[in-house]
Copies of this chain bind each other. A is one copy, B any other.
Amino acid sequence: MFELGVVKRNITRANSVAADQLGHFGASTVHEALGRVGLMQNYLRPIYSGARISGTAVTVLMHPGDNWMLHVVAEQIQPGDIVVAALTSPNTDGFFGDLLATSFQARGARGLVIDGGCRDVKDLTEMRFPVWCRAISSKGTIKATLGSVNIPVVCAGACVTPGDVIVADDDGVVVVPAAMAVATLDAASKREALEADKRAKLASGVLGLDMYNMREPLAKAGLRYVD
């Protein structure tokens, strides 16, 4: 599965409408719509607040302290892609900075999700090139060993197959399998439609206990009120 030294050029990207629109719902809603699976570990954090993106995954697997393959993956980026970078073991070096971001942006990438470190965060923030990473670090990397591009990877605890949809915002990063992108978009839309009504009720002072009819199941479960 994780063969090293291979670049796969042709990958099947998820439906582009779904890939584009899932981002509007954000990671939390999409994660619910998908059945509460596919979430990356929450140690990945955005380098700046407020970014919300979605797009199709191109993947790269690298060794600790070596970012050579980020140059290789750059060539495989198509407009609308998000690069997902996994490591063979945990490492927080600064694999990615403003030069690579310039290149990725020129190729049409919408952002980077990396299970490692990032640097030049001030420049990246000014460029509005969003990165979700596990650390910020000035520590540079070498270019000595091969990894692979566009193979399935595990990034921050989630399996990512090239072409899957990535949704990332302040709440985290969710992976939607390509085959489920359209159905998930549909489910997310329905969830959100319901939420507006719920929000209005709750704002008016109605309790979730009543709105969701929880009083009976709580009593059945044994909840007791005392003074």
Residues of chain A whose beta carbon lies under 8 Å from any beta carbon of chain B: 1-10, 26-28, 30-32, 35-39, 41-42, 45, 49-50, 52, 63-66, 68, 71-72, 74-75, 88-94, 97-100, 102-103, 105-107, 117, 119-122, 125, 135-140, 142-146, 152, 154, 157-159, 169-172, 174, 177, 195, 198-199, 202-205, 207-209, 212, 214, 218, 221-227
**Number of copies of this kind of chain in the complex:** 6
Report if A65-B68 is in contact (Cβ < 8 Å); known contacts: A171-B121, A227-B9.
no
Which of chain B's residues have a CB closer than 8 A to the CB of A157? 154, 157
Rounded to whole angstroms, the CA-CA distance of A108 and B131 in the bound complex is: 36
A223:B137 contact, CB within 8 angstroms:
no
Contact of A103 among B50, B74, B119, B202 (CB under 8 A): B202
Which of chain B's residues have a CB closer than 8 A to the CB of A2? 35, 37-38
Report if A4-B36 is in contact (Cβ < 8 Å); known contacts: A138-B27, A158-B154, A208-B100.
yes
B205:A107 contact, CB within 8 angstroms:
yes
Q: Which residue of B lies closest to A208 (CB)?
A: B71
A94:B171 contact, CB within 8 angstroms:
yes
Rounded to whole angstroms, the CA-CA distance of A204 and B203 in the bound complex is: 50
Rounded to whole angstroms, the CA-CA distance of A103 and B49 in the bound complex is: 25
New contact pairs (8) apart from A72-B218, A94-B171, CB-CB < 8 Å = A9-B227, A26-B120, A75-B207, A88-B139, A89-B137, A106-B202, A138-B174, A154-B158
Could you name 25 residue pairs across A and B whose Cβ atoms are closer than 8 Å? A2-B37, A10-B227, A28-B94, A28-B119, A28-B120, A41-B90, A45-B136, A64-B93, A65-B66, A65-B89, A75-B207, A89-B91, A89-B93, A90-B91, A99-B199, A102-B199, A103-B203, A103-B208, A106-B204, A137-B171, A138-B171, A138-B174, A142-B144, A144-B144, A154-B158
